[in-house]
Amino acid sequence: MFRQIVDTLVPKVEEREARALAFVVLEDAFGLSRTDIYLGKDTVFSEEDTIRLEKILRRLEQGEPVQYAIGTAQFCDLTFRVTPDTLIPRPETEELVGWVASLLPSDAPCSVLDVGTGTGCIAISLAKQFPRAQVMAWDISEGALAVAQQNAQANGVVVDFCRTDVLEVVNESAASAPSRDALYIVSNPPYICERERAEMETHVLDYEPASALFVPDTDPLLFYRALARLGQQLKAAAVLVEINQAYGQETVEMFQSNGYSNVELRRDIYGKDRMIKAVR
Instruction: Tell me the pLDDT band of 102, cut-offs 50, 70 and 90.
Output: very high
What pLDDT is recorded for position 41? 65
Mean pLDDT of 2-18: 88
What pLDDT is recorded for position 86? 98
Domain that holds residue 37: 1-70
Q: Has 86 been labeled as part of a binding site? A: no
What pLDDT is recorded for position 171? 78
State the average pLDDT for the chain. 92
Residue in 204, 71, 184, 93 with CA at minimum distance from that of residue 136: 184
97 and 34 inside one domain? no
What pLDDT is recorded for position 175? 52
26 and 94 inside one domain? no
The string of pLDDT tens digits covering residues 120-145 is 999 999 999 999 999 999 999 999 99
DSSP code per residue over 39-107: HT---PPPHHHHHHHHHHHHHHHTT--HHHHHTEEEETTEEEE--TTSPPP-HHHHHHHHHHHHHS-SS
What pLDDT is recorded for position 215? 97
Q: Tell which of 70, 95, 115 closes a domain.
A: 70
58 and 31 inside one domain? yes
Q: Has 117 been labeled as part of a binding site? A: yes
What is the total count of domains within the chain? Answer: 2
Give the best-scoring range by mean pLDDT among 36-45, 172-181, 270-279.
270-279
- Measured CA to CA in angstroms, residue 19 lies from 13, 130, 211, 219 at distances of 10, 36, 32, 40
First to last CA, the chain: 55
54 and 118 inside one domain? no
Residue 78 lies in a domain: no
Q: Tell which of 43, 70, 97 closes a domain.
A: 70
Task: Give the three-state DSSP class for 117.
Answer: coil
Q: Has 8 been labeled as part of a binding site? A: no
Q: Has 139 been labeled as part of a binding site? A: yes
What pLDDT is recorded for position 181? 60
The string of pLDDT tens digits covering residues 181-239 is 689 999 999 999 999 999 999 989 999 999 999 999 999 999 999 999 999 999 999 99
Q: Has 188 been labeled as part of a binding site? A: yes
Residue 238 lies in a domain: yes
24 and 96 inside one domain? no
What pLDDT is recorded for position 2? 85
Q: Has 190 been labeled as part of a binding site? A: yes
103 and 13 inside one domain? no
146 and 229 inside one domain? yes
105 and 236 inside one domain? yes
Exposed / middle / buried, residue 136 (Cβ in 10 Å: 0-12, 13-18, 19+): buried
267 and 192 inside one domain? yes
pLDDT at 32 over 90: no
Q: Tell which of 70, 104, 128 closes a domain.
A: 70
Q: Has 118 been labeled as part of a binding site? A: yes
Mean pLDDT of 18-46: 83
Mean pLDDT of 36-56: 82
48 and 134 inside one domain? no
What pLDDT is recorded for position 100? 98
Q: Has 91 been labeled as part of a binding site? A: no
Looking up residue 110, the CATH number of its domain turns out to be: 3.40.50.150
49 and 89 inside one domain? no
What pLDDT is recorded for position 12? 82
Looking up residue 52, the CATH number of its domain turns out to be: 1.10.8
Residue 76 lies in a domain: no
Residue 214 lies in a domain: yes
87 and 54 inside one domain? no
Residue 75 lies in a domain: no
17-31, 92-106, 154-168, 184-198: range with lowest mean pLDDT: 17-31
